[in-house]
């Protein structure tokens, strides 16, 4: 069964600094990969998704992620953190028509 591992349950960055949230997947076949964001007391919303069209995927709010098959990774980055980026971020994987499987999440704190 496919799964994702998010390295670091909590990441703290200064405002304006690079954001890097790590995600590794396990799958024998390249899957579909997603990043979702959850703001406090809200549901999840899609940031971006990889569906094999391009390895570098751009999402909303200036986030992007790069699919690296050799490293089985799909790390999320943003060049310059903003206070409004403070939230919990979830990596998720889907293979074929099976439902999404989520990682345990990484809480991002942004320090002024």
Binding site residues, another protein, CB under 8 A: 9, 32, 34, 36, 41-46, 49, 51-52, 90, 94, 96-105
Mapped onto helix, strand or coil, the DSSP state of residue 10 is strand
Least distance in angstroms from the C-beta of 10 to another protein: 10
When the beta carbons of 96 and 112 are compared against another protein, the nearer one is 96
CB atoms < 10 A from the CB of 97, how many?
5
Q: What is the distance between the alpha carbons of residues 94 and 24, in angstroms, rounded to a whole number? A: 13
Q: What is the distance between the alpha carbons of residues 109 and 17, in angstroms, rounded to a whole number? A: 12
Least distance in angstroms from the C-beta of 6 to another protein: 8
Which residues does residue 90 pair with via DSSP β-bridges, in sequence order?
36
Least distance in angstroms from the C-beta of 98 to another protein: 8
When the beta carbons of 17 and 100 are compared against another protein, the nearer one is 100
């Amino acid at each position: 069964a496919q799964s994702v591992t998010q390295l670091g349950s909590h990441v703290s960055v200064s405002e304006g600094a690079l954001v890097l949230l790590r995600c590794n997947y396990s799958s024998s076949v390249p899957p579909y990969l997603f990043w979702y964001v959850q703001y406090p007391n809200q549901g999840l919303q899609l940031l971006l998704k990889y569906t094999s069209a391009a390895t570098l995927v751009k999402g909303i709010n200036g986030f992007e992620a790069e699919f690296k098959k050799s490293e089985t990774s799909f790390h999320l980055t943003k060049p310059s953190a903003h206070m409004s980026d403070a939230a919990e971020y979830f990596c998720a994987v889907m293979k074929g028509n099976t439902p999404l499987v989520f990682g345990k999440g990484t809480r991002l704190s942004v320090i002024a």
